[in-house]
Structure 1
């Protein structure tokens, strides 16, 4: 990649995590789990939702699309808030609000009400990921950054995997039971987060960095948009967003119809195997990237780039395999490779943008990824409604995974950390 005029000079790497760094990761692990559990469990109870609230398949796909569009548009705003204000308070407010919205979802009776709760979910969850990853990066300053991010990401993948419980609970206790249980738990956990979670106590947050950015949002956005490396990361993340949300939204339906599975088994198969291996991927990928980064500034981009490139044929296999176990193998390999990318995205971003723009930069990536992911979710619904084989959507996802891996390996970081 050519050099950027906006790139910051190389920074000395302070490799020691700050006191309380691992407590922060532990607290946020549960929050990350709830963040994804609350948003994805709806996708595993399609039949129950449609029986209770009449809608077409395109309407069902629109529920995810609307969430992702709202979530994506507001992610840069949430990132700016995390850069401008107290990150731990932004996280706490986000958790409390989306948990109340999750609980309230259990009591909707019409499609319009359900759509409204998805919009509110997008608004309330938009602040969390940029703020949490930036806070972890504040506490973990080098040799543990990818691993710490990876451990946090295991919470997110645990939430995705547990999302499969939505179908099981819908089959056995009613579609609204999971919203009551997990929404109530989130409200209670917000109290603990409010007591224990704090921003980095030292000022400035990171050596040489102002504690709070007072730049105008337009100036921040302009600096980010001029960064060519960031645009490559954005395209990479958007392609993974397309694949990830296509699989998350429509793989349960694809498996249910192709292999005549029950709603509960299809939801479990579509999420559990992939997300369990994602847990492994974020840990292994994070540890490998931390180790490789000690000898090469490109270590953090090469680990996920290689993993995704090698995984792409297996993603193609999920679309065409005639037996269920081969589909599961494809989901396992994709999950591992995606985990390698997830654990390294914020650490890579720390090598590409100014420290004071980390959360805003991640919010911008989230915006583009969710916009493309929302299109994938809606496209699957449109294909179902118009009798188009979902195999085409999965094949497009596989192509995106291949391109995403190749793009990432082309990134040359502007600095070590």
Structure 2
């Protein structure tokens, strides 16, 4: 296996292996939302009870993200990834066997907790192997798996219609368990930054401690700027996407199905283009500009946020589609470059922990905004105004990134 890891193409094999994990990560979590009617019918649930299934997932996912990142930094990114895939896949399969609503809630909590371990560890491992000219593109390709998983989550509805809602959870759950065995064979950590044998052990990175990690993150001003940016991004994204089908239905008199499809398809296509284009562009530009990855994020939302304002004003549906595409592309620029930027600010030692903390605060703040958006709507405040405010917040947060000081990539 050591010979396999030493191959020049192994970093790209790693991206391919983790692309499938990313695909399953989003597909498994979104399946339940596409199977609402048969699940509600079988367990006689209210809308609030069904909504709680997503809420407990988000709470457990957000709260445990920093812990998952810390374990990946302290012990092994590989082992954390394999553990995460195996446990959430078992929880997915278990969901297909539950006999009560309470058991279903517990299964969702376990799924959220175990999925929280993956993203920080996965991104950290990819950026361990990809440095400089391929780091953003590799990260972007990996993120495209998340988008595809989200976009294809709707397959759950068809599976439910043909074979029943439990079958989909069995299918993808057991596939994930088998895939965890594949990862056990092929996945490897990058050894101590590939230091040469002649380097003394005193020069090698010291073990990661929780207190040291916390002091490093809190003490780094540029990381706090990244934290501000990502929390605002989470708030804006949840405000926008959670209420987008409702906005499109009211603004353009669309049917339920057309509004739902439009709210997911066009931004996801834009994001898919964005992670690939933004990743390639940032890597190419990094040869001459150390801040290229930050600049690509800034340029993305400098274009994408005004398009969101345009969508809020326009009465032409085709123009709204174009706006959704460009806003989604800006999100793709950010996803492809955020972890590479973290590596330029924090370095490799606490990279997974740093991303986990970002994930935690963004998820918690974003989830709260779903409720706030509903409260604003109940107060007869138009969603178009909410979206304009979200776009302005994004512009402020994005431009704050210009104050981030980046170091040599590690």
Q: Would you tell me which structure has more helix in proportion to its own residues?
A: 2
Give TM class, smaller chain: 0.7 to 0.9
Change in CA separation of 1:310 and 1:117 when aligned onto 2, cut-off 3 Å:
same
In structure 1, what is the Cα distance between the partners aligned to 2:386 and 2:101?
26
Residue equivalent to 2:340? 347
Shift of 1:344: 0.4
Counterpart of 1:96 (choices 76, 86, 91) is 86
Change in CA separation of 1:124 and 1:106 when aligned onto 2, cut-off 3 Å:
same
Q: Secondary structure at the match of 1:356?
A: coil
Change in CA separation of 1:315 and 1:64 when aligned onto 2, cut-off 3 Å:
farther
Change in CA separation of 1:55 and 1:98 when aligned onto 2, cut-off 3 Å:
same
In structure 2, what is the Cα distance between the partners aligned to 1:343 and 1:61?
30
Counterpart of 1:139 (choices 117, 120, 129) is 129
Q: Secondary structure at the match of 1:325?
A: helix
TM-score, normalised via structure 2 length: 0.87
5+ residue gaps in structure 2?
1-5
Tell whether the 8 Å contact from 2:21 to 2:85 is kept in structure 1 after alignment: yes
In structure 2, what is the Cα distance between the partners aligned to 1:384 and 1:63?
23
Shift of 1:105: 2.2
Change in CA separation of 1:357 and 1:406 when aligned onto 2, cut-off 3 Å:
same
Structure 2 residue 286 is the aligned partner of structure 1 residue 296: no
5+ residue gaps in structure 1?
1-15
In structure 1, what is the Cα distance between the partners aligned to 2:37 and 2:212?
47
Larger RCO (CA under 8 A, 6+ residues apart)? 1
Shift of 1:157: 1.3
Structure possessing the higher radius of gyration over alpha carbons: 2
Tell whether the 8 Å contact from 1:350 to 1:358 is kept in structure 2 after alignment: yes
Change in CA separation of 1:381 and 1:164 when aligned onto 2, cut-off 3 Å:
farther
Tell whether the 8 Å contact from 2:222 to 2:403 is kept in structure 1 after alignment: no
Structure 2 residue 402 is the aligned partner of structure 1 residue 413: no
Bigger CA drift: 400-409 or 135-144?
A: 400-409
Counterpart of 2:235 (choices 242, 246, 249) is 242
Aligned-pair Cα RMSD in Å: 3.0
Change in CA separation of 1:244 and 1:160 when aligned onto 2, cut-off 3 Å:
farther
Give 1:47-86 correspondences, 5 Å limit: 49-55=39-45, 57-86=47-76
Residue equivalent to 1:330? 323
Shift of 1:27: 0.1
Residue equivalent to 1:186? 176
Shift of 1:354: 3.0
Q: Secondary structure at the match of 2:349?
A: helix
TM-score, normalised via structure 1 length: 0.85
Residue equivalent to 2:119? 129
Tell whether the 8 Å contact from 1:58 to 1:385 is kept in structure 2 after alignment: no
In structure 1, what is the Cα distance between the partners aligned to 2:302 and 2:46?
36
Cα deviation, 1:159-191, whole Å, max 9, x if unaligned, reads 121123344545665544433332232222222
Change in CA separation of 1:257 and 1:180 when aligned onto 2, cut-off 3 Å:
farther
Give 1:13-412 correspondences, 5 Å limit: 20-46=10-36, 49-55=39-45, 57-108=47-98, 110-170=100-160, 174-200=164-190, 202-205=191-194, 213-255=206-248, 259-263=253-257, 265-380=258-373, 390-391=383-384, 393-412=386-405
In structure 2, what is the Cα distance between the partners aligned to 1:107 and 1:257?
39
